[in-house]
Chains A and B, each alone.
Chain A
Amino acid sequence: MKSPVYVRYSLIVLFIQLLFLGPGLLQLNCQAEKVITIAEGYAPYSLDPHVDTNQAARNISDSICEPLFWYDFSKKELVPNLGTSVKNLNDNTWEIRLRKDVSFTNGEPFDANAVKFSIERIKDPQLKSRLLATVRNIKEIKLIDPYTVHLITSSPTPTLPFYLTRVGMVPPKYVREKGFVEFGKKPIGTGPFESVRWVQDEYAEIKANKDYWKGKAKVDRVIFRSIPETITRMAALKTGEAHLVSNLVIEEIPSIKVNKDLDVVSIPSIRMLFIQFNMLQDSLLKDKRVRQAMNYAVDVDSIVKNVLQGYGVRLSGQLISKEYEGYNPNIKPYPYDPAKARSLIKEAGAENYQFTLNASTGRYLRDKEIAEVVVNQLNAAGIKTKLNIMEHGALTQQLMNKKFLDLLLSGLATPPPTADLFYGVGVRQGPFYSTYVNREFDQAFDEAVSTIEKEKRQKLLYRLGEICRDDPPAIFLHQQVTIYGFNKRLAGFIPSPDEKIDPYLLDLK
């Protein structure tokens, strides 16, 4: 017997509904389990905390393989984690005491041996770890007892405890068994989450570790999706496919704010933007009056207000922001004073010199627009400057080779945020990115990085900021702001200057 027409129609309608509502039903099903989806632009190439050190990858790997200590940005101090204390016994020996009640999720014990293995592994050339610089000075690791280790450094390294915030603890036996590529696909640690699956370029799924030593996370699962295109990422937030999306662009903010279920939050990051001078070339930039004039000529407040619509924080006459250890709160920024800039340029005899500002487009928030405004302001103050926009890779190459002409719009972040690392990479003359020439700075830097005594070290770091204020290595611009969009059902999200997202703190209302 043929079924009545309305039954057949109902079946067809049901089928179509199932087809279209399929993903929605799946989501509803998942929500019984408290699942949070986070969308980021970056696609990790490994979940090994010692291999892919991009913060978006670390957000996953740190939740699985915790470090010994965390860094508290507000207090600028270490927070104990797997390590309960750290102290220096002498200039080259650091003693770390460990928690005794922790084991890896595969049952391996977390102890001094695991710490030794985790640190020494970074030095394995095969691993090509980007964390090498953080442990380079450790020449020996002594196991004092199962829960005490001594790190012996080749030279005094006051920032070593900060560096340890970047070193996730891994289980020796499992890593040896699996090899580093396989470990990178399914890592195991002591953290609040365990790896479930990772589909490269698409998503990584982690589930709560029920036996976590601090107690189980509030959510059951977290899915980190990788969506490179900003507008698509934003669409995922609007459709409910993601609860939290990172690195939004300014243009997207209004369309999120009008949605009653969504909101936007932003935080100044540890990425500093500045226009670096190439003092290695034979040019008028060797004259500090020219570099000072450029700082007087650029109205950074106007750039932050008009180009960045407030999503930026002006640098205060030094290259690092208050989140960095070594930030000098007494330094004042250069005031916007085009008349003074004009007179300094005249004094230096640089009125007829044509400078070039090299910049890339799309690498930093509104970088091209910022470069255009800077060039206009320099020209308006009588400092002839032309703009050269380049592809970012080519620009980086020029920076690495220190071959760029005159000026370069640069962005630098050095987690953990210590002045040593930042100045060491970006300012101290040496093998890295620096094109600054100042012997006084170099000497003060060398002294600071090997001074363990806290107060003396702070004075030396403050001095570095003062030297840079007087004899600028760059036009000080601003601190880049990271913008997040989130669903209001999401609770516990605290944005961090280093773009860390801690799934352990998250919950769903």
Chain B
Amino acid sequence: MAQACPLRVINADMTYVGKRLVYALLVIFSVLTIVFFLVRLSGDPTSLFVPLSATQAEIEQLRKEIGLDQPVYIQYYRFLKRSVQGDFGLSLRYQQPALDLVIVRLPATLELALVALTFMFVIALPLGILSAVKRNSPVDLFSSGLALFGQSVPGFWLGLVLILIFSVKLPLFPSSGYKGFLSLILPGITLAAFSSSLVARMTRSSLLEVLSSNYITTARSKGLSEWTVILKHSLRNAAIPIVTIIGLQVGPMLSGAIITEQVFGFPGMGRLAVQAVLNRDYPVVQAFVVVAASLITLTNLTVDILYYFLDPRIRHE
């Protein structure tokens, strides 16, 4: 079989990656536009940043300083121009650069997401594998029940119940705050619940599909042990959709963090976002949405690119 010219392959690779990059930039641009107009639909924030007894002149002065006295298209042009330079303006509440406020809180949120991801790997993956291997057994039923629970239970409720059980009744973990590893456990479980259920179910169905393939029958007929067949031959091929699902969980994790951080009084960027929305702190809302969208887009881009290199079928297409 003739081999493809390496240069042509590199060109094809670059075209694929380049296309994905352009799509990613388009997504971020669209998000910038949508968030700009959405926050303005929620009304004029000036009233929230002046004292009750502010005079009309003082209110107008603040509107001028924020730039709300300008026509929307001028506001939009300025917003786009500054955004590309990473300048989302000063927070109306904190009087500090909005992007800095979000970035400072990002590590706490990422740490929480990392703990949640760890729970996902440690609990959801083995549970999914066991469910597939012991299909229709009590283990499978238990796993399905747990997955159903995880997907249907609201995050804020689960968080509060975990606090009442594991902080109040059994004083094992702090009920709130950000005081070291232990304070990450309960919010981590809360955040992981939804995504873990999805990953467990996906692992189960993906693995079941692979386990019924002909090459697995061949592997078994060669006399390989069942666990070698599962871990070495099946899981590898079943992993592709699982990796995709895990990649897609960055979005739900970030949106879940908004609720989880609020319930646990966790000082991450989700909580900042809630406060910013409640206070109509436009610059912070905009910076948060753009950072969150960039994170999601970046993850999806990475998954897309990894997919390209991992799965030869995509390269072929």
Contact = CB atoms under 8 A, between A and B. Distances in A.
Contacts of B172: 20
Contacts of B180: 22-23
A50 to B, nearest CB: 11
B47 A232 contact: no
Interface string B85-106: 0000000011110000000010
Interface in A226-247: 226-229, 231-233, 235-236, 238-239, 241
Interface stretch (B221-229, B234-242, B267-275): B267-275
Interface in B37-59: 42-44, 47-56, 58-59
A400 interface: yes
A166 to B, nearest CB: 10
B67 interface: no
Interface of B is mostly: loop
B44 A128 contact: no
A64 interface: no
Contacts of B168: 235, 238-239
A393 B55 contact: no
Contacts of B93: 45
Interface in A345-365: none
A132 to B, nearest CB: 6
Contact of B265 (A133, A226, A414): A226
Interface stretch (B10-18, B115-123, B159-167, B296-304): B159-167
A128 B62 contact: yes
A432 interface: yes
A367 to B, nearest CB: 16
B201 interface: no
Contact of B171 (A24, A125, A132, A412): A24
B286 interface: no
Given A45-B94, A201-B105, A397 B44 contact: yes
Nearest to A22: B182
Given A130-B50, A236-B176, A393 B278 contact: yes
A362 B164 CA distance: 23
Nearest to A259: B168
B175 A43 contact: no
A232 B263 CA distance: 7
B262 interface: yes
Size bracket, chain B contacts = 35 or more
B264 interface: yes
B232 interface: no
A241 B53 contact: no
A206 B147 CA distance: 45
Interface string A95-111: 00000000000000000
B61 interface: yes
Interface in A36-55: 43, 45-46, 51, 53
Q: Which of A20, A201, A431 has the most CB of B within 10 A?
A: A201
B172 to A, nearest CB: 5
A239 B168 CA distance: 5
A175 to B, nearest CB: 15
B107 interface: no
Contacts of B55: 431
A200 B182 CA distance: 20
B179 interface: yes
Given A125-B61, A201-B105, A235-B176, A425 B267 contact: no
Given A24-B171, A203-B177, A432-B53, A229 B262 contact: yes
B56 A431 contact: yes
A228 B58 contact: no
Contact of B263 (A132, A199, A229, A394): A229
11 contacts: A19-B182, A133-B52, A199-B267, A201-B105, A228-B271, A229-B160, A229-B265, A231-B163, A393-B43, A397-B44, A432-B52
Interface of B: 42-44, 47-56, 58-59, 61-62, 93-96, 105, 160, 163-164, 167-168, 171-172, 174-180, 182, 262-265, 267, 271-272, 274-275, 278, 280
